[in-house]
């Protein structure tokens, strides 16, 4: 199954009506993860970033990974490798990246 690393800014677009293209893209991606078409992964570091948002927004963002079935992994070396892979121009077939 294809793994997709979802970073903090991607979750941030979920409620951003100022960027409808990005909002719709992340909603579609998270829906595919929720249905089991893709394996969504994020890190504890991302959750900390979501918690650091203004309180009203954080209250909406922090539950998103659980609601959309994105798995939160420890901020280990393996987890930290995913953003570096996502930053490359050629991620492997098993790894994809949700950035906007």
What is the number of domains present in the chain?
Answer: 1
What CA–CA distance (Å, rounded) separates 39 from 32? 9
> What are residue 26's phi and psi, to 5 degrees?
-70, -35
Give the pLDDT score at 1.
86
Inter-CA distances, 7 with 46, 64, Å: 6, 12
Domain extent, residue 92, equals 3-98
What's phi and psi for 61, nearest 5 deg? -80, -45
β-bridge mates for residue 10, sequence order: none
Q: Mean pLDDT, 10 residues at a time, over the chain (100 residues)? A: 91 95 95 96 93 96 96 72 49 45
Give the pTM.
Answer: 0.75
Interstrand relation of 71-73 and 95-98 (parallel, antiparallel or unpaired): unpaired
């Amino acid at each position: 199954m294809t793994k997709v690393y979802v970073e903090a800014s991607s979750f941030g677009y979920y409620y951003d009506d100022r960027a409808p293209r990005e909002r719709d893209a992340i909603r579609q991606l998270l829906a595919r993860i929720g249905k089991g078409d893709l394996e969504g992964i994020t890190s504890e570091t991302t959750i900390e970033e979501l918690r650091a948002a203004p309180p009203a927004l954080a209250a909406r963002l922090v539950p998103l990974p659980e609601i959309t079935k994105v798995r939160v992994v420890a901020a280990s070396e393996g987890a930290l490798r995913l953003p570096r892979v996502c930053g490359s121009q050629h991620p492997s077939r098993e790894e994809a990246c949700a950035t906007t």
